[in-house]
Amino acid sequence: MAPRQGPNDDRTIAPGQFAGQPQAPGVPQQRPAPPGQAQPAGHGWSADKTMVPGIGMPDEQLQAPAGARVAAPPAAQVPAAQVQVQAPAGAGDLTPELIETPVWTETMLQQAGIPIVDVPFVTVGGGIGSFVTTDYLRIAGVPPEQIRVLSNLDFPYQTYEYLTRVSQIPDHARIRSDSSSRPDNIWGFPSYALTETWRQKTPAHLIHLLLEPVWADYWTPLRSTVFGSIDKESKRIGYDKMRVKGVVRMVRKRYGGGYFTILTPPEGSSPTKRVAYRSRFVHLAVGYPGLRYLPDLQDFRERYQDYQHVVNAYEPHEHVYETLKTRPGTVVLRGGGIVASRVLQRLFDDREHYKLQTNIIHIFRTYIEGSHGPGPWMRRKGDHGWAYQGFNYPKSVWGGQLKAQMRKLDGDDRAKLYKLMGGTNTPKRRRWQDQMRAGRAGGYYRDMQGIVEKVEPAPDGNGVVSYVTGKAGNELIRSDYIIDCTGLEADISQHRVLADLLQHTGAYRNPLGRLEVERHFELKNTANGDGVLYASGATTLGGYFPGVDTFLGLQIAAQEIADDLARRGWCKKIGPGRSTSQWFKWAFNKPI
Amino acid sequence: MVPTLTGRIQTRIVLLATVGSVLTLLVTPLLPIHAPLGTAYKTTFIILATVIVLGIVWEFIYHFLMQWRWEKDWPTNFGLITLVPEGLVVWLLLNAKLVPGIHGKVPLAAFLIDFLVVWIGVWLVANGPMRVPFLRWRFHGGRLA
C-alpha cells in the first residue's frame, strides 16, 4: 500500500482506485467535473448564528443554483496574515488546528478561510449505496435541495462497472444478484426477470425463475439491465442535481450538534481548496476501502517491480488473456470466490473459442472437499476446493431467519455466526461445472490445496515460480502468470475518511474489524446533539445485518436509515398508501 | 421468499383472508355447484377458512423442512408445489365429511377450480405485488405486524 496522503495532497480518485492506492494501469482518468453545487436558501438545516448570511464569495464563483447560500467568513473577521500563515497554498485549506481538533466550530473554519455550505443531509461516496439511500429519501418526499451527494464519481455505478468489467463480467454477462435486488426500485417489483421478459418478449426468463434453484441455476440480471435501470431512476429522482463533485477528506463533529464534511472540489472549480458541508445528518457509503493483495504477491511485485506476471483480478489484466492467445501458457489462479469462477470461465472460454493450449493450476488455501458445516441444519455444499452458495450470503440474511437471528447478537456470538455462514464461496453453476469437469478430464485444469510461501521469477526469465506447501507436500509451480482473485478486503483504516472517523469521532470497530453500526445503521458512539452519522455498505460488514455489501443489503440499510430519519421527524415514513402511489410514479417513470 | 415462521403464518392468514376472499367471491358463481349461490358461497368460504387453519399447521412443517436448506429460504416454486399436498388434505377431509359446516358432496371439478384459482392468485401476489403496499414485508421475513 502507498502511504496515506497528507491533508494537502488530495487527488480525485479514479474508479477502481481506492484511497491510498496507486492508480491501476489502464484506469481511465476522471472526466472534467461539473460545477459545485450549494444549498438553496430556505431549505438548509438551521444556520449558525455566528455566520453572516449573504456575505461570502459570490455565488457564481461556485456556480451554485440560484438562491444558493454559500457562507464564507467575512474578510474583516479573518486577519489576512493569519490566513496566509495557515493556508499558504491559498485561502480555504485545512489548518493544523482543524486537523488536530475533533470538534469544530464555525469560527475555526472561518479562520481557515473554508466556506460553509448548509444542507441537512449529506451522503458521502456517491456509489450505489449513496444512490439507493437518496432514492429512498426522495420517494419518502425529501426535496432534492435537502440532499447533497458528495462524490468523485460521475454516476452511481462507476466503480462497480469498473470492478465488474475487469473481473470478467462483460456488458452482455449476468451479475451475481437476485432478480428482485434492484437498486433502482425500492420495491423489487417488477423484478429484473419480469423487466427482461417484457423487453425481450419471451417467457424464458419467467420459466427460468420458476425452476430456480433446484432445476436451474439462479436467474441473475444482465449487467446492462442493472446499469440502464439505475440511469433511468437517476434521471427520475434528479440525482445529478444533488451530486457535488469532489473528494471528501473528513467528517468532523460540529460544536453544538451535527457535522462538518470537508470536500475537496476538483481543481479550478472552487476558489478555495476545501468546502465544508454543514449538516445535521451524514451518511457514509464509501465502498470497499481497497484491494487486498496477498502478501507473497505484494512482496514479489514490490521486490521485482513486476506488475505484468502477477496481477490482481480487480486490476485491468487483459494482457494475460491476449498473450495466451498468441502462445501456450500456464496460469496459476489463487482464490475460491466468484471472481475466481469468472476468471476461470474466461480462460476456459478463450481456450475453447481460440483453440488455445492454456493450462490452469488453481490453488485454494482453504480447500473444501465436500458439504461442510456444524450439523444437518447448517451444511453448505462444496467440492473440489469450492464452497457453493447462490449469492454472497445464505439468502435468508436479507429478510429471513438468519437476518432475525443476527439482529439479536453482539460481540463473540455475532462473530461466530458470521464465521459459520461466511467464508469465500461461489455459485454452483452448471456451465462452470461442465468446464471444470472437462478441464480435469483433459488434464489442463488442476485444483489443489496449498499455501504459497513465496513467488520468484523463473530462473530462465520466463514467468514466475510459486513455492507451495500443502497437504500433498512441497511443490514448485512454474507459470506464466498468477492471477490473484482473493478480493477486496483491505482494512478500513486504509480509507482516509474512515481512518479519520475512527480517530476523531468516537466510531469504533465491530467484531469483524469494520465500523460498528446500530440496527438502523447509525454509527455507534458518534451522535452529536441532534445530528446522526450513518454508514452502510462494505465498511459496516460485521454488524447486526450481514448482507451489507450487496444491492439488497444497501436497500435494507437505506430503508432502516429512512425509517430512522422519519422517527426523528425529519422526513415522512413511507406507509402503504405512499408506497403504492410512489410505485405507480416509478412504474410510469414520472419524475419526483 | 425468505420467511420466518411468524412471517409465514402472518402472510398466509392475511393473503388468504384478503386476496383469497376476493378471488373466492369472484370465482364461486362460476363453479359447477348445483346449489343456491348462498350455499355455494358458504361452501367455498368454509374451504378457504379450512386452508387458512390447516395452513398454520403446514407452515410449521415447512419451517421445519426449511431448516435443512443452507439458505434458509423457500424458493418460489416450493410455494407453488405445496398446493398439491395441501389441496389433497383438504379434499380428503371434505370427502370424509370432517370439515365443519359442509355436509354435502363438493364436486371435484368445483373444488379444483376454486382451490387452484385461490392458491395461484395468492401465490402470484406473494411473489411481487405484495411488496408494493408493504415495503418492509420482504425484509422482515414476511411479517406484517
pLDDT digit string (tens) for A23-44?
Answer: 333 333 333 333 333 333 333 3
Query: What span, in angstroms and rounded, lies between the C-alpha atoms of A1 and B8?
Result: 49
Residue to mutate among B11, B71, B77, with most A CBs inside 10 A, is B71
Answer whether residue B103 is part of any domain. Answer: yes
What is the domain range of residue B75?
5-140
Q: Does A186 touch chain B (CB under 8 A)?
A: yes
Render pLDDT for A90-145 as a digit per residue (tens, 0 to 9).
479 999 999 999 999 999 999 999 999 999 999 999 999 999 999 999 999 999 99
Set of chain B residues whose Cβ sits within 8 Å of the Cβ of A583: 132
Confidence band for A294, pLDDT divided at 50, 70 and 90: confident
Give Cα A524 distance to the centre of its chain. 21
What's residue A13's pLDDT? 34
Task: Kindly state the DSSP code that residue A445 receives in the 8-state scheme.
Answer: E
- What phi and psi, each to the nearest 5 degrees, are found at residue A2? -75, 150
Strand ranges of the sheet holding A103-104, from the earlier edge strand across to the other edge: A70-71, A116-118, A275-279, A259-264, A247-254, A103-104
Answer whether residue B145 is part of any domain. Answer: no
Query: What span, in angstroms and rounded, lies between the C-alpha atoms of A235 and A183?
Result: 14
Spatial contact of A17 and A162, defined as CB atoms under 8 Å apart: no
DSSP E strand boundaries for A280-435: 281-284, 310-312, 330-334, 359-364, 372-375, 378-380, 382-383, 386-387
- Nearest CA to A464 out of A306, A303, A245 is that of A306
Query: What span, in angstroms and rounded, lies between the C-alpha atoms of A10 and A36?
Result: 17
Residue to mutate among B11, B132, B140, B144, with most A CBs inside 10 A, is B132
Going from the N-terminus, what domains does chain A have, and what CATH number goes with each?
Answer: 63-179+239-290+490-592 (3.50.50.60), 295-369+425-484 (3.50.50.60)
Answer whether residue B32 is part of any domain. Answer: yes
What's residue A289's pLDDT? 80
The residue behind cell 450549494 is: A38
**Least CB–CB distance from A579: residue in B80, B135, B140:** B135
Give me the number of domains chain B comprises: 1
Q: Is the pLDDT of residue A88 over 80?
A: no
Residue B100 Cα, gap to closest chain A Cα (Å): 35
Lowest mean pLDDT of A40-44, A343-347, B84-88, name the range.
A40-44
Query: What span, in angstroms and rounded, lies between the C-alpha atoms of A444 and A348?
Result: 10
The region, left, alpha or beta by phi > 0 then psi within -120 to 50, assigned to residue A487 is left
Render pLDDT for A136-175 as a digit per residue (tens, 0 to 9).
999 999 999 999 999 999 999 999 999 999 888 988 889 9
Residues 536 to 575 of A: which have CB under 8 A from any B CB? 556, 559, 574
Beta bridge partners of A481: A331
Beta bridge partners of A254: A104
Q: Is the pLDDT of residue A262 over 70?
A: yes
Lowest mean pLDDT of A23-32, A191-200, A260-269, A325-334, name the range.
A23-32
**Least CB–CB distance from B136: residue in A395, A396, A559:** A559
Residue to mutate among A178, A192, A396, A579, with most B CBs inside 10 A, is A396
DSSP secondary structure of A106-175 = HHHHHHHT--EEE-SEEEES-SHHHHHHHHHHHHTT--GGGEEEEES-SSTTHHHHHHHHHTT--TTSB-
Count of CB atoms situated within 10 Å of the CB of A189? 19
Answer whether residue B125 is part of any domain. Answer: yes
Residue B64 Cα, gap to closest chain A Cα (Å): 10
Instruction: Give start and end residues of each alpha helix (H) in A411-546.
Output: 411-421, 430-442, 496-504
CA within 13 Å, CB half, A199: 14
Set of chain A residues whose Cβ sits within 8 Å of the Cβ of B71: 389-390, 394-396
Q: Does B36 touch chain A (CB under 8 A)?
A: no
Q: Does A198 touch chain B (CB under 8 A)?
A: no
Spatial contact of A338 and A330, defined as CB atoms under 8 Å apart: no
For range B11-21, the mean pLDDT: 98
Render pLDDT for A400-419 as a digit per residue (tens, 0 to 9).
999 999 999 999 999 999 98
The region, left, alpha or beta by phi > 0 then psi within -120 to 50, assigned to residue A335 is left
Helix (H) or strand (E) holding A84: helix A80-86
What's residue A218's pLDDT? 93
Count of CB atoms situated within 10 Å of the CB of A79? 11
Q: Is the pLDDT of residue B123 over 90?
A: yes
Query: What span, in angstroms and rounded, lies between the C-alpha atoms of A580 and A575?
Result: 8
Query: What span, in angstroms and rounded, lies between the C-alpha atoms of A99 and A119?
Result: 22
Higher pLDDT, residue B124 or A420: B124
Answer whether residue B129 is part of any domain. Answer: yes
What's residue A422's pLDDT? 80
Q: Does A310 touch chain B (CB under 8 A)?
A: no
Strand ranges of the sheet holding A359-364, from the earlier edge strand across to the other edge: A310-312, A481-484, A330-334, A359-364, A445-449
Lowest mean pLDDT of A33-47, A491-505, B50-64, name the range.
A33-47
For range B32-58, the mean pLDDT: 96
Answer whether residue B108 is part of any domain. Answer: yes
Look up residue A60 and give its three cell numbers.
Answer: 457564481
Q: What is the dihedral of CA A498, A501, A506, A512, to 10 degrees?
A: 0
Residues 201 to 220 of A: which have CB under 8 A from any B CB? 209-215
| % of chain A surpassing 90 pLDDT | 74
Confidence band for A486, pLDDT divided at 50, 70 and 90: confident
CB pairs under 8 A between A and B: 95
What's residue A291's pLDDT? 77
Query: What span, in angstroms and rounded, lies between the C-alpha atoms of A143 and A157?
Result: 23
Look up residue A405 and give its three cell numbers.
Answer: 437471528
Spatial contact of B122 and B27, defined as CB atoms under 8 Å apart: no
Task: Kindly state the DSSP code that residue A543 receives in the 8-state scheme.
Answer: S
Contact B134 A576 (CB under 8 A): yes
Query: What span, in angstroms and rounded, lies between the C-alpha atoms of B110 and A324?
Result: 66
Q: Is the pLDDT of residue B22 over 50?
A: yes
What's residue B1's pLDDT? 83
Q: Is the pLDDT of residue A563 over 70?
A: yes
Answer whether residue B21 is part of any domain. Answer: yes
For range B33-62, the mean pLDDT: 96
Average pLDDT value over all residues in chain A: 85
Render pLDDT for A55-87 as a digit per residue (tens, 0 to 9).
222 222 223 333 333 343 333 333 332 333 334
For range A426-438, the mean pLDDT: 96
Helix (H) or strand (E) holding A279: strand A275-279
The burial of A228, by beta-carbon neighbours within 10 Å (0-12 exposed, 13-18 middle, 19 or more buried), is given as middle
Q: CA geometry: angle at A567 spanning A566 and A572, to 5°? A: 25
- Nearest CA to B73 out of A398, A173, A362, A592 is that of A398
Query: What span, in angstroms and rounded, lies between the C-alpha atoms of A72 and A55?
Result: 7
Residue B57 Cα, gap to closest chain A Cα (Å): 19
| % of chain A surpassing 70 pLDDT | 84
Query: What span, in angstroms and rounded, lies between the C-alpha atoms of A389 and A381?
Result: 7
